[in-house]
Protein backbone atom coordinates (compact mmCIF):
# COMPACT_ATOMS: atom_id res chain seq x y z
CA UNK A 1 0.00 0.00 0.00
CA UNK A 2 1.26 3.49 -0.82
CA UNK A 3 2.35 5.40 2.24
CA UNK A 4 0.38 8.62 2.71
CA UNK A 5 2.42 11.74 1.89
CA UNK A 6 3.14 14.51 4.37
CA UNK A 7 1.27 17.80 4.57
CA UNK A 8 3.55 20.79 5.22
CA UNK A 9 2.46 24.41 5.58
CA UNK A 10 4.40 27.65 5.87
CA UNK A 11 3.04 30.63 7.73
CA UNK A 12 3.97 34.11 8.87
CA UNK A 13 2.90 37.73 8.60
CA UNK A 14 3.38 39.50 5.26
CA UNK A 15 7.06 40.35 4.88
CA UNK A 16 8.29 37.54 7.15
CA UNK A 17 10.12 36.16 4.12
CA UNK A 18 8.52 32.72 3.93
CA UNK A 19 8.06 32.84 0.14
CA UNK A 20 11.81 32.89 -0.44
CA UNK A 21 12.14 29.61 1.48
CA UNK A 22 9.29 27.72 -0.17
CA UNK A 23 11.03 27.15 -3.50
CA UNK A 24 14.10 25.91 -1.64
CA UNK A 25 12.02 23.54 0.48
CA UNK A 26 10.22 22.11 -2.55
CA UNK A 27 13.53 21.59 -4.37
CA UNK A 28 15.06 19.96 -1.31
CA UNK A 29 12.19 17.49 -0.98
CA UNK A 30 12.24 16.69 -4.71
CA UNK A 31 15.99 16.09 -4.57
CA UNK A 32 15.20 13.36 -2.03
CA UNK A 33 13.03 11.59 -4.55
CA UNK A 34 9.68 12.73 -3.19
CA UNK A 35 6.77 13.77 -5.39
CA UNK A 36 5.93 17.29 -4.18
CA UNK A 37 2.84 19.35 -4.86
CA UNK A 38 3.59 23.02 -4.25
CA UNK A 39 0.47 25.08 -3.71
CA UNK A 40 -0.94 28.11 -1.88
CA UNK A 41 -3.92 29.61 -0.08
CA UNK A 42 -6.14 31.29 -0.78
CA UNK A 43 -5.97 29.61 -4.17
CA UNK A 44 -4.61 26.29 -5.34
CA UNK A 45 -7.47 25.46 -7.73
CA UNK A 46 -8.91 27.41 -10.69
CA UNK A 47 -11.93 28.46 -8.59
CA UNK A 48 -9.72 29.09 -5.56
CA UNK A 49 -7.53 31.47 -7.57
CA UNK A 50 -10.64 33.43 -8.60
CA UNK A 51 -11.72 33.59 -4.97
CA UNK A 52 -8.19 34.75 -4.06
CA UNK A 53 -8.46 37.60 -6.53
CA UNK A 54 -11.74 38.68 -4.91
CA UNK A 55 -10.70 38.31 -1.31
CA UNK A 56 -7.40 40.14 -1.78
CA UNK A 57 -8.88 43.03 -3.72
CA UNK A 58 -12.63 43.57 -3.28
CA UNK A 59 -14.04 45.41 -0.28
CA UNK A 60 -16.11 42.96 1.82
CA UNK A 61 -17.25 42.26 5.37
CA UNK A 62 -15.32 40.04 7.74
CA UNK A 63 -17.79 37.14 7.60
CA UNK A 64 -17.68 37.13 3.80
CA UNK A 65 -13.89 37.27 3.86
CA UNK A 66 -13.71 34.34 6.29
CA UNK A 67 -16.27 32.26 4.40
CA UNK A 68 -14.47 32.86 1.10
CA UNK A 69 -11.19 31.68 2.64
CA UNK A 70 -12.92 28.46 3.63
CA UNK A 71 -14.78 28.16 0.31
CA UNK A 72 -11.43 28.24 -1.47
CA UNK A 73 -9.98 25.87 1.14
CA UNK A 74 -12.63 23.18 0.80
CA UNK A 75 -12.10 23.06 -2.99
CA UNK A 76 -8.37 22.93 -2.48
CA UNK A 77 -8.58 20.22 0.15
CA UNK A 78 -10.84 17.93 -1.86
CA UNK A 79 -9.40 18.47 -5.32
CA UNK A 80 -5.71 18.87 -4.64
CA UNK A 81 -4.44 18.24 -1.11
CA UNK A 82 -6.28 15.06 -0.08
CA UNK A 83 -5.79 13.25 -3.44
CA UNK A 84 -2.08 14.17 -3.51
CA UNK A 85 -1.49 12.88 0.03
CA UNK A 86 -3.44 9.71 -0.75
CA UNK A 87 -1.23 8.87 -3.73
CA UNK A 88 1.87 9.36 -1.59
CA UNK A 89 2.85 12.87 -2.72
CA UNK A 90 4.01 15.49 -0.24
CA UNK A 91 2.11 18.77 -0.19
CA UNK A 92 3.85 22.06 0.54
CA UNK A 93 1.25 24.77 1.03
CA UNK A 94 1.95 28.51 1.35
CA UNK A 95 -0.54 29.30 4.16
CA UNK A 96 -3.48 27.23 5.41
CA UNK A 97 -6.02 27.35 8.25
CA UNK A 98 -3.54 28.85 10.73
CA UNK A 99 -3.59 31.95 8.49
CA UNK A 100 -7.33 32.32 9.03
CA UNK A 101 -6.89 32.08 12.82
CA UNK A 102 -4.09 34.64 12.61
CA UNK A 103 -5.45 37.15 10.06
CA UNK A 104 -9.23 36.93 10.46
CA UNK A 105 -9.21 35.65 14.06
CA UNK A 106 -6.39 37.85 15.35
CA UNK A 107 -5.78 40.67 12.88
CA UNK A 108 -9.46 41.34 12.25
CA UNK A 109 -10.47 40.29 15.79
CA UNK A 110 -13.05 37.67 14.81
CA UNK A 111 -11.72 35.37 17.52
CA UNK A 112 -11.18 31.64 17.21
CA UNK A 113 -14.60 30.13 17.99
CA UNK A 114 -16.34 30.75 14.66
CA UNK A 115 -13.25 29.79 12.71
CA UNK A 116 -13.13 26.51 14.63
CA UNK A 117 -16.70 25.77 13.47
CA UNK A 118 -15.68 26.26 9.84
CA UNK A 119 -12.53 24.23 10.35
CA UNK A 120 -14.63 21.32 11.62
CA UNK A 121 -16.71 21.59 8.48
CA UNK A 122 -13.73 20.74 6.26
CA UNK A 123 -13.84 17.23 4.85
CA UNK A 124 -11.69 15.24 5.08
CA UNK A 125 -10.50 16.78 8.36
CA UNK A 126 -6.83 17.20 7.51
CA UNK A 127 -4.37 19.12 9.67
CA UNK A 128 -0.83 19.76 8.50
CA UNK A 129 1.81 17.30 9.76
CA UNK A 130 4.31 20.13 10.14
CA UNK A 131 3.97 23.90 10.00
CA UNK A 132 6.92 26.24 9.89
CA UNK A 133 6.01 29.65 11.24
CA UNK A 134 8.34 32.45 10.13
CA UNK A 135 8.24 34.91 12.98
CA UNK A 136 9.64 38.45 12.81
CA UNK A 137 9.20 41.74 14.61
CA UNK A 138 6.88 44.03 12.69
CA UNK A 139 9.55 46.58 11.79
CA UNK A 140 11.53 43.86 10.00
CA UNK A 141 8.45 42.53 8.19
CA UNK A 142 7.41 45.97 7.01
CA UNK A 143 10.87 46.78 5.72
CA UNK A 144 10.84 43.53 3.70
CA UNK A 145 7.44 43.98 2.14
CA UNK A 146 7.90 44.31 -1.60
CA UNK A 147 7.40 47.95 -2.47
CA UNK A 148 7.38 47.09 -6.17
CA UNK A 149 3.76 46.03 -6.57
CA UNK A 150 0.43 47.44 -5.47
CA UNK A 151 -0.35 46.23 -1.94
CA UNK A 152 -3.46 44.07 -1.49
CA UNK A 153 -6.21 44.55 1.14
CA UNK A 154 -4.12 42.86 3.81
CA UNK A 155 -0.81 44.49 2.97
CA UNK A 156 -2.49 47.90 3.27
CA UNK A 157 -3.41 47.24 6.92
CA UNK A 158 -1.93 49.18 9.81
CA UNK A 159 0.79 48.12 12.23
CA UNK A 160 -1.73 47.14 14.96
CA UNK A 161 -3.41 44.65 12.59
CA UNK A 162 -0.10 42.89 11.97
CA UNK A 163 0.77 42.96 15.67
CA UNK A 164 -2.49 41.11 16.41
CA UNK A 165 -1.89 38.73 13.51
CA UNK A 166 1.60 37.92 14.72
CA UNK A 167 0.39 37.45 18.30
CA UNK A 168 -2.35 35.06 17.11
CA UNK A 169 0.23 33.04 15.17
CA UNK A 170 2.48 32.89 18.23
CA UNK A 171 -0.42 31.79 20.42
CA UNK A 172 -1.24 28.95 18.03
CA UNK A 173 2.39 27.88 17.97
CA UNK A 174 2.43 27.92 21.78
CA UNK A 175 -0.69 25.76 21.92
CA UNK A 176 0.57 23.19 19.39
CA UNK A 177 4.34 23.20 19.62
CA UNK A 178 4.60 19.64 18.28
CA UNK A 179 3.18 20.66 14.91
CA UNK A 180 4.07 24.36 14.60
CA UNK A 181 7.79 25.04 14.71
CA UNK A 182 8.76 28.69 14.96
CA UNK A 183 11.67 29.92 12.85
CA UNK A 184 13.23 33.20 13.94
CA UNK A 185 13.06 34.96 10.60
CA UNK A 186 14.63 38.20 11.79
CA UNK A 187 18.09 36.71 11.17
CA UNK A 188 19.93 36.81 7.84
CA UNK A 189 18.57 34.73 4.97
CA UNK A 190 21.47 32.26 5.42
CA UNK A 191 20.78 31.85 9.13
CA UNK A 192 17.04 31.38 8.57
CA UNK A 193 17.79 28.86 5.82
CA UNK A 194 20.18 26.94 8.09
CA UNK A 195 17.62 26.81 10.93
CA UNK A 196 14.92 25.63 8.55
CA UNK A 197 17.24 23.09 6.86
CA UNK A 198 18.15 21.49 10.19
CA UNK A 199 14.53 21.14 11.16
CA UNK A 200 13.56 19.83 7.72
CA UNK A 201 16.22 17.12 8.09
CA UNK A 202 14.78 16.10 11.44
CA UNK A 203 11.31 15.95 9.93
CA UNK A 204 12.53 13.84 7.00
CA UNK A 205 14.23 11.43 9.40
CA UNK A 206 11.02 11.07 11.41
CA UNK A 207 9.14 10.42 8.17
CA UNK A 208 11.60 7.66 7.27
CA UNK A 209 13.01 9.41 4.19
CA UNK A 210 16.54 8.07 3.52
CA UNK A 211 19.44 10.47 4.15
CA UNK A 212 20.71 12.51 1.18
CA UNK A 213 23.39 10.65 -0.78
CA UNK A 214 26.80 12.32 -0.94
CA UNK A 215 26.59 12.42 -4.77
P1 LIG B 1 0.48 35.92 0.62
O2 LIG B 1 0.42 34.48 0.97
O3 LIG B 1 1.33 36.78 1.48
O4 LIG B 1 0.88 35.98 -0.88
P5 LIG B 1 1.80 37.02 -1.60
O6 LIG B 1 3.17 36.65 -1.13
O7 LIG B 1 1.52 36.75 -3.03
O8 LIG B 1 1.33 38.37 -1.13
O9 LIG B 1 -0.95 36.62 0.50
C10 LIG B 1 -2.10 36.10 0.93
C11 LIG B 1 -2.79 37.06 1.85
O12 LIG B 1 -4.00 36.46 2.30
C13 LIG B 1 -1.97 37.38 3.11
O14 LIG B 1 -1.99 38.77 3.34
C15 LIG B 1 -2.72 36.69 4.22
C16 LIG B 1 -4.12 36.55 3.69
N17 LIG B 1 -4.83 35.37 4.20
C18 LIG B 1 -5.81 35.53 5.15
O19 LIG B 1 -6.07 36.66 5.59
N20 LIG B 1 -6.48 34.44 5.62
C21 LIG B 1 -6.23 33.18 5.16
O22 LIG B 1 -6.88 32.20 5.61
C23 LIG B 1 -5.21 33.01 4.16
C24 LIG B 1 -4.91 31.65 3.63
C25 LIG B 1 -4.52 34.13 3.71
Reduced 3-state DSSP string for 161-175: HHHHHHHHHHHHHHH
* Protein residue with its CA nearest to atom 7 in ligand 1: 19
Q: Determine if residue 119 is left, alpha or beta; phi over 0 gives left, psi from -120 to 50 gives alpha, anything else beta.
A: alpha
Q: Which of 95, 105, 161 to mutate to test the pocket of ligand 1 (most atoms within 8 A of CB)?
A: 95
pLDDT at 211: 86
Side-chain half-sphere exposure of 202, counting CA atoms within 13 A: 11
Burial of 207 from C-beta contacts in 10 A (0-12 / 13-18 / 19+): middle
**Which are the contacts of 75, defined by CB distance < 8 A and separation ≥ 6?**
44, 45, 47, 48
pLDDT at 212: 82
> Rounded to two decimals, what is the model's pTM?
0.96
pLDDT at 147: 65
Task: Assess contact for 99 and 41: CB atoms under 8 A.
Answer: yes
- The fraction of the chain above a pLDDT of 70, given in percent, is 97
**Which superfamily, per CATH, for 7-207?**
P-loop containing nucleotide triphosphate hydrolases (3.40.50.300)
66-121 residue pLDDT tens: 999 999 999 999 999 999 999 999 999 999 999 999 999 999 999 999 999 999 99
Ligand 1 centroid to Cα of residue 69, in Å, is 10
* Protein residue with its CA nearest to atom 1 in ligand 1: 14
Is the alpha carbon torsion for 116, 121, 125, 127 positive or negative? Answer: negative
pLDDT at 143: 86
Ligand 1 centroid to Cα of residue 208, in Å, is 32
Which residues in the chain land under pLDDT 50? none
**Ligand 1 atom with least separation from CA of 42:** 24
Can you give the residue ranges of every domain in the chain? 7-207
pLDDT at 213: 73
| H or E element at residue 194 | helix 189-206
Amino acid sequence: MTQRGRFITLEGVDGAGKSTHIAWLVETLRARGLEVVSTREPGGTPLGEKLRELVLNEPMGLDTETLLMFAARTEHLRQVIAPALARGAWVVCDRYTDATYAYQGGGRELGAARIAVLEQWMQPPLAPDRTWLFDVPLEVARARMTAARTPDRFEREQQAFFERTRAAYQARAGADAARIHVIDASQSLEQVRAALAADVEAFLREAGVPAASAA
